[in-house]
A = this chain, B = another copy of it.
Amino acid sequence: MTRSSNRTTSFEVAALAGVSQSAVSRAFTPGSSIAEETRQKVLEAARKLNYVPNSIASSLTTKRSNIVALILGNLANPFYVHVMHAFSRKLQEHGRQVLIFTVDAGAESDDAILQVLKYQVDGVILTSAQLSTRMTSMCHDRGIPIVLFNRYIPGSDASGVRCDNNGGGRLIAEAFLAAGAKSYLIVTGDPTATTSGDRMHGFMDRLIEGGIKRSDISQIEGNSSYEGAFSATIRYFSSPDVKRPDAIFGVNDIMAMGVMDALQLRLGMKVPEDLMLGGFDDIPEARRAPYHLTTVRQPIDQMVDETLAILHLDEPTRPIERGIDKRIPGRLIWRSTVPAPRDSE
């Protein structure tokens, strides 16, 4: 048994069924003009021969591959695993295949895009990876829609879907303010990502509106990872002249979890008794007993739906819409890392 051997073709099925190859093709193409009787004959013959239509060949003529590329930057963050899962489920439901590319977080995605173009994908979804304008236009030029997921790349005319990160930052700020925190620490992620910056700015702006002095807001870098936030936290609090904040905002849950573990297991502080803590994303892990984290939920399903809507895979002739910047509000999930306000007043 060697490779690339006996793959049955539509001609062989046609021969067995006593029809033309066209008929076989039609039997497998919903909505095409074929008598039910003929169709059954063909399907019967196909079954006997274990025939499976060759999508590659089909793509060549239809110019549609039914493949969607998903470029992933940071699988170490469970949030993106869930995003991937959601896309995979949804696309499979619609009979689409998912081509995965993993790139280093924050790295250029040019190579991946180039590969993707070779495979004539019907659309590209990009999460947490950079996108050059050259690649954007290459995709657009050949009619391949591309959507940035939870990324905003200034100056790009690629469309995107994201959570209202700024607004989400404000939500966490409001929770902290309501709980009475006066001094703050922000643990930021990838500095090249607008996602982290937007959350931080929304957070700070709201604090300042709430009467907090800028000098009461500090900031450290957590590398978008659990480990990064964990060690950054320890480093920060180990400094002799540190002012202990009342509240810490990790710009994503995985970092907030790292912060929390560092505080409680290494620095001997209790959350929320000594210090309150907020995250962003609402990954399932944030809900677990050791964390039970107050956070902002990103509505993944809705964001995925919006992304697919922009891709509009079902209407390939519709022009690609550029420059869409769909922003979807997050929702504050108040758990136990921020104490309930003393009074609702």
Contacts and interface: CB of A to CB of B under 8 A. Distances in A.
Contacts of A2: 143, 317-319
A4 to B, nearest CB: 5
Contact of A143 (B4, B50, B265): B4
**How often does this chain occur in the complex, in copies?**
2
Contacts of A261: 288-290
A67 B101 CA distance: 12
B88 A120 contact: no
Contact of A3 (B97, B98, B317): B317
A81 interface: yes
A192 interface: no
Interface in A43-61: 50, 52-57, 59-60
B289 A56 contact: no
A145 B97 CA distance: 20
A316 interface: yes
B97 A119 contact: yes
Contact of A56 (B7, B120, B317): B120
24 contacts: A1-B141, A1-B143, A1-B319, A2-B319, A3-B143, A3-B144, A3-B317, A3-B318, A4-B143, A4-B316, A5-B142, A6-B141, A6-B143, A7-B143, A50-B138, A55-B120, A56-B59, A56-B60, A67-B119, A88-B100, A88-B102, A98-B100, A230-B289, A290-B290
